[in-house]
Structure 1
Amino acid sequence: MRRRFLQRCAAALGVALAGPARALMPAQPQPDPDALTPGQSTFFRAWFVRIVDQQVQRGPTPRWTQRDCAGLVRFAATEALREHDARWLKANGMNDAANASRLPPELQLTPWQRMLANRWTRIDGSVGAYVSAIALVQRNSRFVSRDVNQALPGDLLFFDQGDDQHLMIWLDRYIAYHTGTVTLSDSGLRAVAVPDLMQWKDSRWQPVDGNPNFAGVFRLAFLTP
């Protein structure tokens, strides 16, 4: 299954797959002239993680409409890049005293940087606000490692199950994800402690090097490092 994922990466990027499948990773995206500086990236990560945590702890905001694993990443990235003024804090349920004391520093961004999450590159090369899970990895992220110890908060864990691909978000102490299914009684949001996921009973979801379904840790390309 991992080889099928790499073959799709190769086809999308016009690369011939040769040698062991593990030797090939998606080509690194071209540097974005609006990429965040190291300082901006640190604050972005803090907001991104805080927004994901808010969805998990308090339930999904109605403003998040496309509820699946890639939708969670897109929503959190878009909101992290916004100006977090009093109106935004109220709309996202972060204007109470308990939240105010834990908010990250505000990002100082250019207008073009604030639009980064509306300029995702799709598999076909077009650009827009919507992008699939596999395109988030192939065209909008760079490979970090298959060792989760190299992950930073906000990095993505990518799993390839053949016909289905899935993203999880590394939040340092735990991992958050969306099942892709929403019912009246289940938001689809999940949080799991890192040690528990490493020993998950269904080994297809263990983020370990020996799992052929685990493609590795990926980092949004506009972040530095």
Structure 2
Amino acid sequence: MFAQVTRRGIGVMMAVGFVIVPAVSYFSWGRTVRTNLHPPSKNQPNEPRTTDRSVPRKLPNSLSSDMDHDGLPDAAELSTFMERQNFRHWFTGIAEMQFYRLSDSWNKDQRDCAGLARFAWREALKHHDRSWYQKMGSGYEQLGSDTNEYEREPSPLGEKLFRTDFGTYREDDIANGKFSEFADARTLKTFNCDFIGRNREEAQPGDLLFFYQPWVQKFPFHVMIFLGEAHIAPDGNKDWVVYHTGASPTDEGAVKKVRLAVLDHHPNKRWRPVESNPNFLGFYRLKILE
């Protein structure tokens, strides 16, 4: 009896085996085909995954797109939080350093309020290597990582960083003179910045303050750079600004570093950065940071 059962069991097992083996072979073949048709991802679980910052960003419509219609090509704007923070550190740090020691790289003929913003802006976007430090002079230190987007994917603007006319960016704007290496305070405000508000609580480091003084001075627009907390000799206060007073026929002017709390009590009320002052236009943010 046991022998019959055993033989019967063996027969059943053999029959099942003939069914299983082809099935296993079929699924193995199917898996092999799928593997050949769809190779495994390069980012396997046991391999380090590529980070977003190591991959150059891809811009729609190449270098000519202006998705936000702000007049600047998307390639000229800083697209990530870290890139914007890096720019803010360099922009404010370079501007503040001019209070302690004017850089030899800053053209003497362009030392005024807008010139300070242009100079710090341009230098903040550069590659800060040993050659850069030598040109800037002593006293400079590493303020953060470079804004690498300008190295990975060069801006179509070249040295003409500043927009000078209204409109959405077009490929022929540079050839048509709508960008320049120079921009006065009015041009910076009108074409290169967005209005944030007149409340200082909304300001971030690297924002600009504008004043308008018609009939009082030759150039009615004046600009200051909001530092927030000082890089040099910080005291815990976060309302520092830096600006150039502007030159005159008898005076070269000077770079000033002062707190908004002090300017609130300026003897000339026209220079007080308060909402009740009609000459204070408010805080503005660079479009490349928006």
TM interval, shorter chain, is 0.7 to 0.9
Contact (CA 8 Å) 1:60, 1:187: kept in 2 or not?
no
TM-score (norm 2): 0.60
Post-superposition Cα deviations, 1:75-124, rounded to whole Å, max 9, x if no partner, equal: 11000001101100121125x6xx54x52122212353495662311147
Compared with structure 1, are the counterparts of its residues 145 and 176 closer, same or farther at alpha carbon in structure 2 (3 Å cutoff)? same
1:48 pairs with one of 91, 98, 101: 91
Deviation at 1:185, TM superposition (A): 7.9
Which consecutive residues of structure 2, in runs of 5 or more, have no partner in the other structure?
A: 1-68, 167-176, 230-239
Could you tell me whether the CA contact under 8 Å between 1:78 and 1:118 is conserved in 2? Answer: no
Residue ranges of structure 1 left out of the alignment (5+ in a row):
1-27
Q: Given the two structures, how large is their TM-score scaled by the length of structure 1?
A: 0.77
Whichever residue aligns with residue 201 of structure 1, its letter is P
Say which SS state the counterpart of residue 222 (structure 1) adopts: helix
User: Counterpart of 1:8?
Assistant: none
2-side partners of 1:90 and 1:184: how far apart?
A: 32
Asked if 1:169 is matched to 2:191, the reply is no
Q: Is the 8 A contact 2:208 2:226 kept in 1?
A: yes
Residue 130 in structure 1 maps to residue 182 in structure 2:
yes
Partner of residue 159 from structure 1, selected from 207, 211, 236: 211
Superposed displacement of residue 127, structure 1: 1.1
Deviation string 1:113-143 (CA, Å, 9 cap, x unpaired) is: 4956623111477211111110100111000
Name the residue aligned to 2:237: none
What's the offset of the Cα at 1:184?
A: 9.2
Larger radius of gyration: 2
**In 1, Cα distance between the equivalents of 2:133 and 2:192?**
28
Is the 8 Å Cα contact of residues 196 and 282 (structure 2) preserved in structure 1? yes
In structure 2, how many angstroms separate the alpha carbons of the residues matched to 1:182 and 1:85? 35
Q: Distance in 2 between matches of 1:183 and 1:92?
A: 27
The alpha carbon displacement at 1:32 in A equals 3.2
Aligned residues: 193
Q: How has the CA–CA distance of structure 1 residues 206 and 106 changed in structure 2, closer, same or farther, with 3 Å as cutoff?
A: same
1:52-201 matches, cutoff 5 A: 52-65=95-108, 66-94=110-138, 99-100=140-141, 102-110=142-150, 111-113=153-155, 115=157, 118-123=160-165, 126-163=178-215, 164-173=220-229, 174-181=240-247, 187-201=253-267
Query: 1 CA distance for matches of 2:284 and 2:122?
Result: 18
- Over the aligned positions, Cα root-mean-square deviation in angstroms equals 2.5
The answer to whether the aligner puts 1:207 opposite 2:278 as a matched pair is: no
CA drift of 1:192 comes to: 1.1
Contact 1:59 1:187 in 2 (8 A): no
Tell me which residue corresponds to 2:73. 32
Q: Is the 8 Å Cα contact of residues 83 and 147 (structure 2) preserved in structure 1?
A: yes
SS of the counterpart of 1:176?
strand
SS at match of 2:282: strand
Q: Is the 8 A contact 1:29 1:142 kept in 2?
A: no
Counterpart Cα distance in 2 of 1:200 and 1:130: 30
Check conservation: 1:52, 1:176, Cα contact below 8 A. yes
Identity, % of aligned pairs? 33
